[in-house]
Amino acid sequence: MKNRKKLGIIGLVVVLAIISFAGCSSNDVKTGNNDVNITTDVVVIGSGGAGLAAALEVKNAGKEVIVLEKMPIIGGNTLRATGGLNAAGSSAQATLGLEDTVEAFFTDTMKGGYDKNDPELVQILAEESAEAVEWLLSMGGDFNDVGKLAGATNTRAHRPTGGAPVGPEVVKTLRSALEESGVKIMTETIALKLIEEDGKVIGVIAEDKDGKEFTINATSVVLATGGFGANSTMLVEYNKDLEGFGTTNHSGATGDGIAMAQEVGAALVDIEEIQTHPTAVPSNGYMITEAVRGNGAILINRDGERFVNELATRDVVSAAMLAQEGKTGFLFFDQGVTDSLKAIDGYIKQGIVTEGETLEELAEKAGINPENLKATLTDYNQYVASKEDKDFGRNDMPRSLENSKYYAIEVGPAVHHTMGGIKINTEAQVLNAEGKAIAGLYAAGEVTGGVHGGNRLGGNALTDLIVFGRIAGRSAVNN
């Protein structure tokens, strides 16, 4: 009898511990047939940049938060981001003597998106961009190198010193801050359905890695599940021309959050606007950062000729690439570009770069016309010297290409970013078809639409994640 009482007390303690749970790994919660209820203040679904930023804002406000992540690791597509985080008026720009304005950022983004963007969201993006960088810097992140990406009037793409990939640095910075604050993330845990009661979202039904369902009750839910760039069926549903395309997205980018939001009446915006990235490796879809072109590389075809302004918007460069033989081209650069960007070292180690001590050697290895390549380089280097690209009007040519070794990477377009998604307002509240906020539901990042319009500028995705992730977290707390 005493043993039974003792076991009963232990069991009660265990149940109370689970109910008071405020964030743990999926292995820490034993569930069965949806018979476990967890209560917290905010649930964040997705652990990319937007989800991590939202969760940190919630925790910093003194509230409890649970983060659900269906993949075995955190980071989502943010881990794959390489180019930069756009911001206007940051301390890093000031240190480097770079001038930029919120107005220029706003204008560039609207122009890049063909004015299909929601101007109110873009204004928030531009206004809070510098603070996003300062916030990350305050947590020990390295975003002190600033480069220029396609479509930007000014140099505003913040990245780690030496031009290393920016996404992993964002994830590392946010993850460290969350770990220090005691927030844990339930990985390999799938959000199945939003719980709605009397027109208000009050929680989530989730499933752990063993297929057992459980319920999380919360005051607010933040959707940060990313886009649908890895969902080939959904992509073709909205754009039949994308059938057979590869993708730069991680395998978890399947549009789950969009579907869940629609079930509770969320409206969608710009859902058909899908961006291809022009420089992905055809064999595996690995994206080569736009910063390679920004730091001086050119694009050539198999005939050894340039065929586009390398810093035109992604849709323009992608279309030009598809018009070439084999629907691919080559990023061509020299040792000077390689030395300027640390990310290139990673590409070389992966074995996706063709190298040559001379132009002739490189051309032979890559299957490029050597005589035309020589002529192209001669012309281009003259354009750099005269600061006038007579062929394609490229207005930013930071260096000539004449320092051996020489390098080439075969590249072609792949699905990269889905600009459309859930409709939100400036407070990151999810809106229904009537334009009214769905109580208790917020969204940020690529799961949303309206920020990027018809074409996303390189460097704006990470700004979007941090700016609206933070807003979603604060709004969820205020709710």
Dihedrals φ, ψ of 38, to 5°? -110, 140
**How many CA within 13 A on the CB side of residue 47?**
28
Dihedrals φ, ψ of 454, to 5°? -90, -5
**How many CA within 13 A on the CB side of residue 455?**
21
Q: Which amino acid is at 114?
A: Y
Query: Which residues sit opposite 442 in a β-bridge?
Result: 222, 429
Measure the CA–CA gap between 359 and 371, rounded to whole angstroms: 9
User: Can you read off the two tokens belonging to residue 437?
Assistant: 């906020």
Measure the CA–CA gap between 253 and 144, rounded to whole angstroms: 29
Q: Give the chain's length.
A: 479
**How many CA within 13 A on the CB side of residue 381?**
12
156 belongs to the catalytic site? no
Give every CB contact of residue 194 below 8 A, 6+ residues apart in sequence. 201, 203, 204, 221, 260, 261, 263, 264, 441
Q: Which is catalytic among the residues 314, 394, 456, 470?
A: 314
Show the CA angle centred on residue 64, arms to residues 61 and 67, nearest 5°: 110
Catalytic residue numbers, as ranges = 314
